[in-house]
Amino acid sequence: MQTVADPTPSRKPQAITHYAYLGETYGTAELLNGSGYLFRTKGERQATLVSYKDPALLLLGLVELSEMQADIRHYRV
Question: What are the CA-CA distances from residue 50 to residues 13, 19, 36 (Å)?
Answer: 22, 14, 6
Q: Which residues pair with 29 in a beta bridge?
A: 18, 39
Look at residue 18 in the predicted model and tell me its pLDDT: 93
pLDDT computed for residue 70 by the predictor: 75
Q: Judge whether 48 and 39 are in contact, CB under 8 Å.
A: yes
Residues 31, 47 contacting (CB under 8 angstroms): no
pLDDT given for residue 71 in this prediction? 77
- Per-residue tens of pLDDT for the chain, all 77 residues: 566 666 666 666 678 999 999 999 999 999 998 789 999 998 889 999 999 899 999 999 998 887 777 777 777 65
pLDDT value for 9: 62
What's the CA gap between 61 and 49, in Å, rounded?
19
Which H helix or E strand runs over 58?
A: strand 57-62
